[in-house]
Chains A and B, each alone.
Chain A
Amino acid sequence: MTQSVVVQVGQCGNQIGCCFWDLALREHAAVNQKAVYDEAISSFFRNVDTRVADGGGDISRGKICSLKARAVLIDMEEGVVNEILQGPLRDVFDSKQLITDISGSGNNWAVGHKVFGSLYQEEILEKLRKSAEHCDCLQCFFIIHSMGGGTGSGLGTFLLKVLEDEFPEVYRFVTSVYPSGEDDVITSPYNSILAMKELNEHADCVLPIDNQSLFDIISKLNLMVNSGKLGTAIKPKSLVTSSAGAFKKRQEKPFDAMNNIVANLLLNLTSSARFEGSLNMDLNEISMNLVPFPQLHYLVSSLTPLYTLADVNIPPRRLDQMFSDAFSKDHQLIQADPKHSLYLACALMVRGNVQISDLRRNIERLKPSLQFVSWNQEGWKTSLCSVPPVGHSHSLLALANNTCVKPTFIELKARFMRLYKKKAHLHHYLQIEGMEESCFTEAMASLSTLIEEYNQLDATKCMPTEDVPRLSVAI
């Protein structure tokens, strides 16, 4: 079994990361009732004897002594990380795996990327190497950050190049929170586009998320819970937004519900690699199946169900509803409508008591309403993991490589242009050493090329599919 290391950068990255670790502990506690340190837990946690000074060596088998997250926490101001270290999860993090500064990046990508990048490069490398050494077989780095600010966006993407150079064989999966329309950081378009160039060039796979979509999901859930329309209570743990039953009790903070959704996304993404099932899907299979061309590696994700009713009886119709919901635009984690755009590839990762016939029946049912690119008409990758998430009997994570991600990029580009045309706030960036106007134009060009690739694919949507003439052979 392989291990993964989570690198959480900036305020957003660390807050999401915190929720992730909390829910991960909850999940493993639910599955692993005997508190034995097994291979599943080892994918994200080390087992350390805290009585020995300096943590001692890692304990690879036997009872769980003290679990330490395979994580590196990076932030250029201390507030968030300090809060984590004083909170209920403080024992889960190794104090040596933190990198902090005091002044923050001032919502400036250039400060995060150029200034703090060069200042902390050595230290970052050292912490990453340490975390890799603790792994038997390191397969993946999960980077969590936001695109709109300075640290997550700038330093987070600086990291990508470091990881690519230092650990070329290890996958880089990036969870990026894109700024919504009403983002309160004025320079977020600049930061996002500068960061996008790095994502284009150095990430293996990107899962874009936006706050608006998360917010909409929560509003819907609140409406449902409060309206009493569903009669009996929703199982508290089953809400995709809840921390109920989490290993350590935390004060629920405003962004917690939204962050829990992202945390659940990461748990479900890795479930088939950690737990057993009749059709396993490892992390390297995600990239292999969902990235047909290196630059088209943006995956739109959706999670269902968002809750489970306390009533245990689940008729098959409910199961089919789960599949239908995964394709509805209300369940996507960015503002996107995959049903009306073109699919390049789609992965369905199912957890719980679902069998291959359920999967097939639903693929057959939904296929006619979806459009796949001509060379990948049956572009489905599926996996069945026997272990359901906490509070559910089954769940589905859909990952789509779909042109519906284009509008997000186009809008970002438009917001960028509105600022750039007026050269607004540009001087904050240009005064940083290493920054020139060409950084902006190059980043812009990179995004435009990407958008153009999606445009070309969309253009094939209406064309009749013609089979390419086959080889003719002499016998």
Chain B
Amino acid sequence: MSIVTVQLGQCGNQIGFEVFDALFSDSHCPQGLCSKRENEAYQASCKERFFSEEENGVPIARAVLVDMEPKVINQTLSKAAHSGRWKYDQHSCFCQKQGSGNNWAYGYSVHGPRHKESIMDLIQKEVEKCDSLSGFFIIMSMAGGTGSGLGAFVTQNLQDQYSNSLKMNQIIWPYGTGEVIVQNYNSILTLSHLYRSSDALLVHENDAIHKICAKLMNIKQISFRDINQVLAHQLGSVFQPTYSGEGSWHYRRNPLGIDWQVRPPLSGLPTLSKMSTNKEFHFNTSIANLVILRGKDVHSADVGAFKDPALYTSWLEPVHAFSVWKTQRAFSKYEKSAALVSNSQFLVKPLDVTVGKAWNMFASKAYIHQYTKFGIEEEDFLDSFTLLEQVIASYCNL
């Protein structure tokens, strides 16, 4: 089963390139620390998910590149082509001349409707190249105008047109201290819209990855390339093939295969007064955890600690909330590696901070005229705030 990637805006395209590069490098890595047959099965599975084949054998990424100005896409295309190992399909690009100006309203209300047909057509073409479609992976930032606004619009349209396929959005949380001044507005508008149309939001914070580069990797002069490569490495270790079941030796067909949405049971929600006072606050409370193990000794690895009920909210059994995926094939030459995807309260603090800052700015009405110019009214802002406050409250109540 295949994943179609949609890369939006400067951030989305720069990251998208690193992701495909990481996936390709890993799958063609000769030291898989496993048998040749195993390696070949791994490669084939990876190939099917992310690349399609061309006549001369150069794999083409299953991706649609979208940006409202040409510089980044041109760079991305040529970087891939230069590597000689894989490339993008030149026809799978959509580009305009003038960017979105960091304006969510412009991306969503002007570029969206104007270019809807062209963009959805390109996506349709990519989908048709797949034997069977698992879903969409949409890479976008929240701070700018194209990734955020147009990204929200495209996701909404994917929901309408491909309601049975999974839509997973990789969203980039901007640095706390300014990349873009209106980033908080753009973020809350993006999040509130994605909440209504996306199935899963994979979040990466620039601040967090920056710290990884600085403290764990000791990089002195950190560039965006470094940051994107760390991100791509993390995503690769999540999305590369794994066995389909306990004890199975076949790679699972559906790469996005667990139920990413967790809903609380309709009855039996604890009342507010019973806030978890008796719980130890060592960990964020989770509603779902996925551990992915790759490499040596995966079958004997002990993941018992992840099944501790203290990690999870009181209305969930660990067995329903915890999953583990494995493969013996090592990732990116690491003898053993593990990845954790978690749906927990970790996001509450950054979300709360962003909503708080956006709210303060909104109270002064600063920059609002830039949004109302393109059809996003104060009411739309208020709707977004309301929705996000509810999300924060829901997570706090776990």
Contact = CB atoms under 8 A, between A and B. Distances in A.
A285 B102 contact: yes
Contacts of B219: 357
A470 B179 contact: no
B355 interface: yes
A357 B222 contact: yes
B223 A471 contact: no
B340 interface: no
Contacts of B389: 470-473
B370 A356 contact: no
A25 B102 CA distance: 30
Contacts of B397: 475
13 contacts: A2-B69, A137-B98, A282-B69, A284-B98, A284-B102, A287-B370, A357-B214, A358-B221, A360-B177, A375-B364, A381-B102, A471-B359, A475-B393
B98 A293 contact: no
Contacts of A470: 355-356, 359, 389
Interface of B: 10, 14, 69-72, 75, 97-103, 145, 175-182, 210, 213-214, 219-225, 227, 272, 355-357, 359-361, 363-367, 369-370, 385-386, 389-390, 393-394, 397
A375 B385 CA distance: 16
Contacts of A374: 360, 364
Contacts of A284: 98-103
Contacts of B181: 289-290, 345, 376, 378-381
A468 B359 contact: yes
A293 B361 CA distance: 12
Interface stretch (A46-54, A100-108, A252-260, A273-281): A273-281
Interface in A246-304: 276, 278-280, 282, 284-285, 287-294
Contact of B98 (A2, A345, A471, A472): A2
* 3 closest A-B pairs by CB: A380-B178, A284-B101, A357-B222
Given A39-B70, A284-B101, A381 B224 contact: no
A282 B99 contact: yes
Contacts of B71: 1, 39, 276, 280
Nearest to A278: B224
Nearest to A468: B363
A367 B175 CA distance: 15
Contacts of B272: 475
A73 B393 CA distance: 60
A2 B97 contact: yes
Contact of A357 (B99, B102, B210): B210
Contacts of A293: 365-366, 369
Interface centre among B101, B210, B213, B370 (most CB of A within 10 A): B101
Given A293-B365, A345-B181, A470-B359, 13 more contacts: A39-B70, A39-B71, A279-B224, A285-B101, A288-B145, A292-B367, A363-B178, A375-B364, A375-B366, A380-B178, A471-B359, A475-B390, A475-B393
Contacts of A136: 97
B386 A378 contact: no
A274 to B, nearest CB: 9
Contacts of B365: 293
Contacts of B180: 285, 289, 381
Contacts of B366: 292-293, 375-376
B177 to A, nearest CB: 5
Interface centre among A356, A360, A363 (most CB of B within 10 A): A356
Contacts, number: 144
B253 to A, nearest CB: 37
A1 B178 contact: no
A282 B224 contact: no
A384 B71 CA distance: 14
B221 A278 contact: no
Contacts of A287: 101, 370
Contacts of A355: 221-224
Contact of B227 (A39, A137, A356): A356
Interface string A323-359: 0000000000000000000000100000000011110
B223 A356 contact: yes
Contacts of B364: 374-375
A11 interface: no
Contacts of B360: 374-375, 467-468
Interface string A1-27: 110000000000000000000000000
A289 B102 contact: yes
A364 interface: yes
Interface in A355-414: 355-358, 360, 363-364, 367, 374-382, 384
Contacts of A2: 69, 97-98
A475 B70 CA distance: 44
B222 A356 contact: yes
A288 B227 contact: no
B178 A473 contact: no
A157 interface: no
B356 A282 contact: no
Contacts of A1: 69-71, 97
Nearest to A40: B71
Nearest to B227: A356
B361 A288 contact: no
Contacts of A358: 221
A288 B102 CA distance: 7
A278 B177 CA distance: 17
A289 B182 CA distance: 6
A139 interface: yes
Contacts of A377: 357
A25 B131 CA distance: 53
B178 A282 contact: no
Nearest to B71: A276
Nearest to B269: A475
